[in-house]
Amino acid sequence: MGTIHTFFVISIIFSCLSGSVDVHFITKRDASLDDRKDCPPVEGQPQPPTRVDTTARLQALRTEMGTADVDVYIIPSEDAHQSEYPPSYDLRRSYISGLSGSAGIAVVTATKAALWTDGRYHLQADDELDCNWILMKDGVEGVPTMTEWIIEQMMNSTTKNVGASPFLLSSSKWKTYEEAFTQEAITMKSVGANDLIDKIWTSGRPEKPKTPINALPLKFAGRSWQDKINDLRSEMTKKHAGAFIVTSLDETAWLFNIRANDILYNPFVVSYAIVEMNQISLYLIDSSTKLSQTPTDEETTETLYEHLNTNQDGTCTGKTGLCVKVLEYNQSGLLTDIETLAETSQSLKVWVTILCNQAIYETIPETQVIQANSKVALIKSMKNSVERAGMQNSHIRDAVALINFMTKLEKEVKEGKKWTEVSAAADLKTYRFDQEYNRGLSFNSISGVGSNGAIIHYSPSNITDKQITTSEMYLLDSGGQYLDGTTDVTRTFHFGTPTEYEKECYTLVLMGHIDLALTKWPRGLYGRDFDAIARHPLWDVGLVYRHGTGHGIGAYLSVHEGPGRISISHAVNPSDEPLDENMFFSDEPGYYEAGKFGIRLETIVMTEIVDTKYHFDATTMLGFKAITLVPYEPHLINFSMLSQRQIDWLNAYHKRVENEVGPKLSGEPLEWMKTRTQQITTSSPASIILPSILLICITSILSLLK
């Protein structure tokens, strides 16, 4: 699926020099409701059914804003852990704006409401936001940034307070906003623990998450939590840090080898942890119940307290070896503990990550805080050998599920049986559930026919559902959670006869996809440094896709994980890290034509050290190995556009599909695969013409000889 991070924001704020000779300028245009489809609403004409009426919610929020004395209120998508996919309880930005997509930030003033979102959600946002909302399309020329827009709105305001919850914004974002506002005498005003959406979202709100926790057996995790704690403590020693606060949910799940279902599609446990040199504290919701609960996963043999080497009440008294003290999850309790920690030893340094929330950050005295990228995130992303094997195995099982399903779908669509985006996604799910170690999906399948395929992060619903036919392209982006790995694969299909243009676009996307997979680079580079290689073939003909090319992926963790990514971006993310070996990324260029079709090809690839013909000054070269093994669609490829190198890659890939997935297929699915994995022989003019000429020549000579 599309990557986490906002694509580059074009920021040429450079306009109208008076009387300039001939220099070209772009004016930053005024953002307004005029850009919205069917806005303002016309009496008697219904609004699109997908739109959420937010009038009452906005009114309630504005009342609270008055009480809290803020002129502007910022509502980010994230929870207190900066989760990309927060628990349903925490979907505040979706509640206030109506946009159900994962990325976006909402800003409400006394009279206006605006939402910034990236290219994956531009079309979807227009479908879901009602006419109260200005849609700010990140990545489109001339769209102001959030801070620029707020500054503009506050220009003539006598009070200039921009409110936000310190739990929901990362400290780095808080600082960025503060810096942008300070010159304009605008103040970032914390509302403390009293988030204004919490005050108005009182009915119909989902429960706080508290699903059972299962220990992940060592045969899947590859490394015990005790060893991981020791690894982390070595890093803390090097950084002269006496405590490390773990705030991201995939980091607590990974560090302690625990999994739950607190977030849809993400097997996380809502939690915090503080790792000190002589103590480890883990904060869990409903901790006493969870510690002694019988495991709900059949592969888990220990209760949580046994796994964490803790007494049944979560204390460590009398325990030998490492023990995790379990405490009740509670924001203010956590802050008090951090405060006490810092006060007890004023020479103690506390390491927090760039993404830690502002509330935690501001609790630690400035002289004691070390803010730096999370080593947990980095070590986690460099998978150990057990995780690497698990990722490869789970991807093979996942390919089997997808191929079996696609064989049926294609056959029945061609027979004229009715399949829709929704019914296909629902049926595919059951194929994944049948696979060994499956623990559900890794995200809501993106199943898009024709124009719906052009909505980059489209979720089919009964309102938008389209039938799958032989006359339109079909984009299917889906993945599963397995005890031994997380998968995410996109293939694009056409069950009839594609147009030449559709084939050309598919081939251009494939060319970038292969070129990226073939890239070798010197260790130390960021993914953003070579994302262009995937975009290059499309750029050549003027085509562009507005999302990142690759995101990291976890091992039975999140489908999107940092700290590496392959994404050109204007705003360089401070938590980015270079790509190193044994990391897993998606390689997923695409092309989307609004109202017509979407194409995306996504294969998970693993970084590894590669050998090269020459070696420069002991530089280590890295490259990719494909892990997803699902064939491409030969009848959508214009082979004459491919280079020999690209064809060689495709042939080698399809040979691996045959060898590694083939043995687990039989009957029609095996045939379905084989029609796609046939080796392509290059038909250069010489190889076609030469035999014919030789034949004519020999025939002539023979006839003359007769």
Site for a second copy in 587-606 (CB under 8 A): 594
CB 535 to a second copy: min, Å? 8
Stretch that binds a second copy, among 221-229, 396-404, 481-489, 550-558 (CB under 8 A): 221-229
Site for a second copy in 489-518 (CB under 8 A): 518
Do 242 and 276 contact (CB within 8 A), yes or no? Answer: yes
Residue 659 interacting with a second copy (CB under 8 A): no
Do 568 and 388 contact (CB within 8 A), yes or no? Answer: no
Residue 528 interacting with a second copy (CB under 8 A): yes
Exactly one of 415, 541, 640, 667 binds a second copy (CB under 8 A); that residue is 541
Q: How many C-beta atoms surround the C-beta of residue 293 within 10 A?
A: 15
DSSP-based three-state secondary structure for 115:
strand
Do 297 and 303 contact (CB within 8 A), yes or no? Answer: no
Site for a second copy in 180-209 (CB under 8 A): 182-183, 185
CB 385 to a second copy: min, Å? 5
In terms of CB distance, is 512 or 669 closer to a second copy?
A: 512
Do 328 and 272 contact (CB within 8 A), yes or no? Answer: no
Residue 369 interacting with a second copy (CB under 8 A): yes
Query: CB within 8 A of 616, min separation 6: which ones?
Result: 522
CB 267 to a second copy: min, Å? 22
Instruction: Output the DSSP codes for 672-700.
Output: HHHHHHPPPPP--HHHHHHHHHHHHHHHH
Exactly one of 10, 264, 335, 680 binds a second copy (CB under 8 A); that residue is 10
CB 592 to a second copy: min, Å? 9
**DSSP label at residue 182:** H
Q: How many C-beta atoms surround the C-beta of residue 35 within 10 A?
A: 16
Residue 30 interacting with a second copy (CB under 8 A): no
Break the chain down into helix, strand, coil percent, rounded to 5: 35, 20, 45
Exactly one of 201, 526, 556, 584 binds a second copy (CB under 8 A); that residue is 526
**DSSP label at residue 192:** T
Stretch that binds a second copy, among 75-83, 482-490, 539-547, 630-638 (CB under 8 A): 539-547
Exactly one of 42, 56, 463, 686 binds a second copy (CB under 8 A); that residue is 686
Residue 552 has phi, psi (to 5 degrees) of -70, 160
Residue 37 interacting with a second copy (CB under 8 A): no
Which helix H or strand E contains 533, and what residues bound it? helix 532-540
In terms of CB distance, is 265 or 556 closer to a second copy?
A: 556
Q: What is the 3-state secondary structure (H, E, C) of 58-113?
A: HHHHHHHHHHHCCCEEEEECCCCCCCCCCCHHHCHHHHHHCCCCCCCEEEEECCCE
Residue 15 interacting with a second copy (CB under 8 A): yes
Residue 218 interacting with a second copy (CB under 8 A): no
- What residue has token string 């070996």? 581
Query: CB within 8 A of 74, min separation 6: which ones?
Result: 105, 106, 107, 146, 162, 163, 164, 169, 177
Site for a second copy in 605-624 (CB under 8 A): 609, 611-621
Residue 367 interacting with a second copy (CB under 8 A): yes
Exactly one of 343, 436, 540, 671 binds a second copy (CB under 8 A); that residue is 540
CB 533 to a second copy: min, Å? 6
Exactly one of 67, 157, 234, 292 binds a second copy (CB under 8 A); that residue is 234
Do 559 and 588 contact (CB within 8 A), yes or no? Answer: no
Residue 367, classified by CB atoms within 10 Å of its CB into exposed (0-12), middle (13-18) or buried (19+), is exposed
Count of residues interacting with a second copy (CB under 8 A): 96
CB 578 to a second copy: min, Å? 6
CB 486 to a second copy: min, Å? 19
Exactly one of 309, 315, 331, 384 binds a second copy (CB under 8 A); that residue is 384
Do 178 and 188 contact (CB within 8 A), yes or no? Answer: yes
In terms of CB distance, is 85 or 361 closer to a second copy?
A: 361
Residue 581, classified by CB atoms within 10 Å of its CB into exposed (0-12), middle (13-18) or buried (19+), is middle
Site for a second copy in 278-337 (CB under 8 A): none
Q: Kindly give the interhelix angle for 500-518 and 532-540, rounded to the nearest 10 degrees.
A: 150
Q: Within 13 Å, how many C-alpha atoms sit on residue 128's CB side?
A: 23
Stretch that binds a second copy, among 75-83, 234-242, 254-262, 449-457 (CB under 8 A): 234-242
Site for a second copy in 133-162 (CB under 8 A): 140-141
Distance CA 259, CA 484 (A): 12
Residue 436 interacting with a second copy (CB under 8 A): no
CB 168 to a second copy: min, Å? 25
In terms of CB distance, is 140 or 335 closer to a second copy?
A: 140
Site for a second copy in 620-649 (CB under 8 A): 620-621, 643
Lookup: tokens for 677: 């994995």
DSSP-based three-state secondary structure for 235:
helix
**DSSP label at residue 242:** S
In terms of CB distance, is 93 or 546 closer to a second copy?
A: 546
Site for a second copy in 571-590 (CB under 8 A): 572, 578, 580-582
Helix count and strand count (H, E) for the chain: 21, 28
Do 665 and 404 contact (CB within 8 A), yes or no? Answer: yes
CB 240 to a second copy: min, Å? 9
Residue 570 interacting with a second copy (CB under 8 A): yes
Instruction: Give the x-and-dash track for 236-275 against a second copy (CB under 8 A).
Output: --x-------------------------------------
Residue 523 interacting with a second copy (CB under 8 A): yes
CB 694 to a second copy: min, Å? 7
CB 553 to a second copy: min, Å? 17
Residue 32 interacting with a second copy (CB under 8 A): no
Distance CA 152, CA 138 (A): 17
Exactly one of 521, 584, 597, 624 binds a second copy (CB under 8 A); that residue is 521
CB 531 to a second copy: min, Å? 7
Exactly one of 173, 349, 397, 491 binds a second copy (CB under 8 A); that residue is 349
In terms of CB distance, is 242 or 314 closer to a second copy?
A: 242
CB 367 to a second copy: min, Å? 7
In terms of CB distance, is 246 or 533 closer to a second copy?
A: 533
Q: How many C-beta atoms surround the C-beta of residue 259 within 10 A?
A: 27
Lookup: tokens for 638: 């214009």
Residue 533 interacting with a second copy (CB under 8 A): yes
In terms of CB distance, is 434 or 540 closer to a second copy?
A: 540
Site for a second copy in 663-682 (CB under 8 A): none
CA distances from 47 to 38, 50, 131, 172, 407 (A): 7, 8, 9, 39, 39
Comparing CA positions, the residue from 425, 426, 421, 430 lying closest to residue 401 is 430
Stretch that binds a second copy, among 65-73, 104-112, 204-212, 366-374 (CB under 8 A): 366-374
